[in-house]
Every structure is written in C-alpha cells, then in structure tokens.
Amino acid sequence: MHRSRTRLTQIFHTSIALLLVSTIFCQNGPAHNHTADQISSYWSNRSQTMYSNASSLLSDLLSDYDIRLRPGFGGDALLLTMDIIIASFDSISEVDMDYTLTMYLHQYWTDERLRWSNEIPIDEMTLSGEFSQNIWVPDTFLANDKHSYLHEVTERNKMLRVNVDGKVAYGMRLTSTLSCSMNLRNFPLDSQNCTVEIESYGYTTSEVLMKWNYPLAVHGVEQADVPQFTITGFHTEDSIVSTATGSYQRLSLVFQLRRSVGYFIFQTYLPCVLIVMLSWVSFWINHEATSARVALGITTVLTMTTISTGVRQSLPRISYVKSIDIYLVMCFVFVFAALLEYAAVNYSYWGRERGRGGGGNEWPVNGANKEDRESAVNVQKWVPSGLMDGVPQPQDRRVEALEEAMGSSNTASKSSPVKPKKRSSSPIPPLCRSGNTISEEADEVPDYPRYSSTSLKGGRPHASLNHRTHHMRGSHSARAKRRMTLARMNVSMKQSISGIGRRARKVIPSIRVRDVNLIDKYSRVVFPPLLLELLHDGWSDNITSFLIFFFYF
C-alpha cells in the first residue's frame, strides 16, 4: 500500500510540472516572435542606412572632384607603386621577335580627395571598374607593347578599391604581345631576356614617381609554363628614360629564358644525323653499282636541302650566322662529299680500265665489262678532250669527208661540166596537166624544184628554172664551205684545250690509285671522326656526347 501511494504521488507531481511548462510556453510565444521581428527590422534599417550612407558618401566625394588634376597637384610628386601577377605565357615567336603574356596589373596610390570621416561606419569600398571614369587614374602604358586588350568576360576585368584614408587600389587583367629583341647566334642552344616595360605616358618624374611594390612585386612566375623555354629567373629594374618631352620613369620586369633543346633534337638534329649516316652507306656498296650509289647520294642531298628549308622558315631573316646554320651546312657538306667520293671512285676505276685496254681512242663501251653494263658508256662524247689524260684525239671524220667532197667537186668542175645524177620521176604525176611533159633536162636536176606547168612552153622549161637550179647548186656549195669552216674551228679549239690540259698536267702531279676500293675503305674511317671533331668545335659537350654515343654504340 505504501509503495502504491508513493508512485501515485510521483505521477501527480510530474503532471503538474508538465502543465506549468506548457502554460509558460504558450504565454511567451507571441513575445518571442515579436523579438525576432524587431531584430530583422533593425538589420534592415541598418542596411538601408549603410546604402544611403555609401551613396551619399560617393556623391559627396565626387561633388567637387576634378578628374583632370592628379592627386597632390602643385605639390610633391605622386608616389605610384605597382605589382604584377603572371597568369600565363601564351607563345614566343622568333620570326616576329615577340611573346604573348597574360597578367594582372595592380596600381596603388593615395588620393586625399577620396578620404572620408571615421564617423561614417564604412572602412573600405570595392567598386566596379566603370567607376574609374569618375576619378583620376594613372596614364601608364607598356612601352614595348605591340598589341594588348582587356578581358571582358563576363564583364570588363577591372577592379577599384578605395579605403577610408584615401588609398586607391586599381587592377586589371590583360593579355599583351610584347616585343623581345632576341640574339639567335647560338640558336637553338640560346638564352633570351624578355622584358615587360611600364612607363607613364604624360607625367614626368617631377609629377609621378613609380616604384615596385616590394617585397611582393611579382607573383606567379614559378607556376608559369613557357613553350620551348625554361624560366631560369627574373628580376625587376628601375630606370629613367629621357625623351624630347622630358624624363620619364620606367619600371622593367626581366624574364631570363633558356631554350629547351629536346624539340630540335628529334626534329632537326637526329634526322640530319641519320641522313648523314645514310650517305655513308654508299661506302659499303660495290663501286660498280652506279645506279644504287648515285641514287643514294642524290636522295640524301635533296633530303638535307628540304630539312634546311624547313628550319629557315621558322626563323627570321637575319644577317648573322646561327649555330644551327653551321650544323646544317656541315651536314650538307658531308652528304655532298659522300657523293663526290663516289665520283672520284668511278673516275679512278674507269681510268684504270682504260689504261689496261692499251690506250685506245675510245673509252670502254657496253660489253667491255660484263659485270657492269649500265655504267659502261662512251665518256669521250661528254668530257672535253683536254681533260682526258693520255687519250689521243682522233681527227674529225666530218672534216675529212667535207674536204674529200670539196676536192672532188673542184677537180670535176675544172675538167668537165658537172652532170647531176638521174633521179626518179615525180612521186605524184596526176598533179601535172595532160599534154605538158617535163623535159629530160628538168629530170636531171638533183632536187625537186617546185614550179607550175604554165612555166613550160613548147615542152621546154622556163628560163627561171635553169636559174633556180644554178642558185641551188651555189647554195649547197656555200653551205658545205661553212660546215667545213665550223668543223675546222672545232678541231682547232679542241687542240688548244688539249694543249692547256697537257700544260696543266705538267704543273699538277697526277694521282693514280691502283685499287679503287681503298678510297671507300679510307672514307669509312675518316668521315665519322671528322664530323664529330667539327661538331665538337661548335656545339656543347652534351650534344657532342649524344652524337658520339649514337655513332659508335
């Protein structure tokens, strides 16, 4: 019984407590809602007050503001500090001597006309870029700029921030193509210095002083990636430029760039090395395989010409010699020397074969060498007689024939009148009119004279026919004399050239090779070390080591 009473008492007390709590909550609910409404109304009024204060503040600041005058006009020079954030290096062009850069340019100065009282609860105002049209801003420009533009997505990328003490921060995001004077003497193993030059266009040093915003004047260079280049460092400079209109201060940011040679190794160096080595393959081909060795030599020469043309198109037309020009020229010389080496081998081989043949009048012709039929040609038709050592010069048969013909004709004309040979009748007799026949004298004419049947009277040729016949005989005789004169001049010219060649051979000793294969054997040994030695004189140790490893291993 006692336990049941105690439990009922506890339940009663709990019910009374819950009833009291619910009553208190119901009484305080409207008061709590009223307090929330009061707080919201307070902040709304405060915000409205801030907006009205800011608008009235800007109106007050611009009421008597003259944007034509710089801050501190008539006093000391205005101090203008700057910093740059590098966003990216877009491209570098050797042909145009420029590079493209995207950056953030920030400028800081103090304008006492934009100060306001500390009683106004506004410490700083960030305004849109359009507000810059209402206040004075510096007239800075990029001195080495070719083309620049501000980004406008989604709005013009400009920023303006004003503090309570009149300090102004003015920033913009722009992409600019800047000139960069490059020295390409060591191209492509070169290093370049490209600058960003900032200067005031109208204000001299007595009105505006420009300084870098140390210690953080330049940001983002470490994260920038430059195509074909590596940024090895950068530094800032401060100088004064004097012109006809005064002295102006110039801030310069200098980037130190070193070109990466990996692209040129695989696009220029390695192909040229392979082409030169391909030209050396001809040293292991039989010297009698003329078609194979000549085709290989000409192909390598043309390929080197194509590679050189492609490299020159990616570089400006400058007067001085570049390192890559020396490399390409030397590769071309070695390729061309390999082709000339076969010319020497071929000349020595056929000179030896001619000596074995007993010094005949003609060079070996087809059939003389059974192993090499396509290269056995009569070279005497193409080589001047004075340049062929030991080859006797036969007399021109045309001169002999003409002299015999002229001698026989002169003898016959003195002894008896010349009677021409008979010729056959006209190949087209139906063209002649009926009743008119050609006399026997006309048939004895050596050529076919063209005359009409009306020129014949009484079956005898007209007088003009005999005249034409004599004229044709005279023209043939004059033509034969001219041919004989030209032939004699040709023979005399050959004899004079031959005399010059004999005198030259007495002065210059002749080099005779007993075995033409020795030329190829020496070329296999001499060409690779000579090329490496020449490359070692004009290139760095890294490139030389790479080529030595490539050639010998």
| 131, pLDDT greater than 60 | yes
Three-class DSSP category at 190? coil
Predicted local distance difference test score (pLDDT) of residue 146: 94
pLDDT digits (tens, 9 = 90+) for 474-515: 666 777 777 788 887 877 787 777 777 677 666 655 556 667
Mean pLDDT, the chain, integer: 76
**Cβ partners under 8 Å of residue 304, min gap 6:** 272, 275, 328, 331, 332, 335
User: Is 499 buried (19+), middle (13-18) or exposed (0-12) by CB count in 10 A?
Assistant: exposed
Helix axes 541-552 and 517-538, enclosed angle (nearest 10): 160
Token pair for residue 376?
């056995």
Q: What percent of the chain has pLDDT over 70?
A: 62
Cα 320 to chain centroid, rounded: 16
Predicted local distance difference test score (pLDDT) of residue 373: 46
**Which letter does DSSP use for residue 418 in this model?**
-
| 195, pLDDT greater than 70 | yes
* Range name among 46-60, 147-161, 212-226, 450-464 with the lowest pLDDT average: 450-464
Q: Report the DSSP beta bridge partners of residue 160.
A: 127, 170
Q: Are 104 and 80 in contact (CB under 8 A)?
A: no
Q: Are 308 and 328 in contact (CB under 8 A)?
A: yes
Predicted local distance difference test score (pLDDT) of residue 354: 59
Per-residue H/E/C for 434-502: CCCCCCHHHHCCCCCCCCCHHHCECCECCHHHHHHHHHHHHHHHHHHHHHHHHHHHHHHHHHHHHHHHH
Query: Of 8-22, 367-381, 402-416, 434-448, which has the strongest mean pLDDT?
Result: 8-22
Rounded distance, CA 440 to CA 420, Å?
12
Residue 306 — pLDDT band, cuts 50, 70, 90? Answer: very high
- All structural domains of the chain: 59-259 (2.70.170.10), 264-352+518-551 (1.20.58.390)
Token pair for residue 301?
């020469």
pLDDT digits (tens, 9 = 90+) for 39-73: 455 445 545 555 667 888 888 889 889 999 999 99
Token pair for residue 8?
């009922």
Q: What percent of the chain has pLDDT over 90?
A: 40
| 528, pLDDT greater than 60 | yes
| 327, pLDDT greater than 70 | yes
Q: CA-CA-CA-CA torsion for 428, 432, 437, 441, nearest 10 degrees?
A: -60
Predicted local distance difference test score (pLDDT) of residue 406: 58
Predicted local distance difference test score (pLDDT) of residue 454: 43
pLDDT digits (tens, 9 = 90+) for 199-251: 999 999 999 999 999 888 999 999 998 888 999 999 999 999 999 999 999 99
Predicted local distance difference test score (pLDDT) of residue 252: 96
